[in-house]
Structure 1
Amino acid sequence: MTIDFAKDRPIYLQLVESICGDVIKGKLKPGDKLASVREFALESGVNVNTVQRVYKELEMMELTETKRGQGTFITTDDGVIHTIREQMKEQVAMQFITSIESFGFTLDEIIEVLKSKKGGN
């Protein structure tokens, strides 16, 4: 199963965000083992070197830890997961604000719409 990647952003960043999103949504849980680099490359349809970079980025973020001979695992540190959740929330919100402001809407208009939609999924 290959993934459709956005052309305007590096693939490795999209994969990092996807894994972070899976952790935030609970699809990946603390202590879960990630697929091997080769398995993940085959699943996602990308080069092994790209996956190695993804795993390196995740480890630098302290979201994962690699245990030699065992694999790569999601951290069990709730503080790290909470921090990444907050960072992603901020990032998504800023992308939304930037996008909607590009159409000429003011921040007050954006807030008004969000308040009207609160709880009205």
Structure 2
Amino acid sequence: MEYNPTLPIYLQTANAIKRDIVTGKLPPGAKLPSVRDLAVEYTINPNTVSRVYKELESEGVCFTRRGMGTFVTEDSAKIDMLKKEMAGTLIRDFLEGMEQLGYSRHEAITFLENEK
């Protein structure tokens, strides 16, 4: 993974895991990699992974079973809500970028509708 220097690595990693959850790559109830395995996979410090898992747990995206590991939430409503939140962020970023280019919101939407 290539990291953006303007955003903390733990947030970028958490967002990548959330993306895997909403796209189904990590289905509800799936066991997440161990802290060490994820640290190797993302080439980050294990302490950063612990922070990622703590963040995801505080958001209700995953849960930890002592001695067993960390798992994706089984709450499909939570996953649907997360997907909508992520989509909303993408849309807001798109509209903001288009406005910076001088397009009105209506023009940006029309541009999007005409794009193939």
Structure 2 letter corresponding to 1:92: L
Q: 1:110 aligns with which of 94, 108, 111?
A: 108
Unmatched segments (≥5 aa) in structure 1: none
Structure 1 letter corresponding to 2:3: F
Structure 1 letter corresponding to 2:30: D
Matched, 1:88 2:90: no
Q: Secondary structure at the match of 2:17?
A: helix
Encode CA deviations 1:24-74: one digit per residue, 9 max, x unaligned. Answer: 111110010000111101110001111111101110111100000000000
Q: Secondary structure at the match of 1:99?
A: helix
Name the structure 1 match of 2:68.
70
Name the structure 2 match of 1:47.
45
Q: Secondary structure at the match of 1:84?
A: helix
Deviation of 1:114 (Å): 1.4
Output the aligned Cα RMSD. 0.9
| TM-score, length basis structure 2 | 0.95
Deviation of 1:111 (Å): 0.9
Identity of aligned residues (%): 40
Greater shift after overlay, 29-38 or 96-105? 96-105
Deviation of 1:100 (Å): 1.8
In 1, the alpha carbon distance for the partners of 2:74 and 2:33 equals: 17
Encode CA deviations 1:12-34: one digit per residue, 9 max, x unaligned. Answer: 11111111111111111001000
| TM-score, length basis structure 1 | 0.92
Tell me how many residue pairs correspond in the alignment.
116
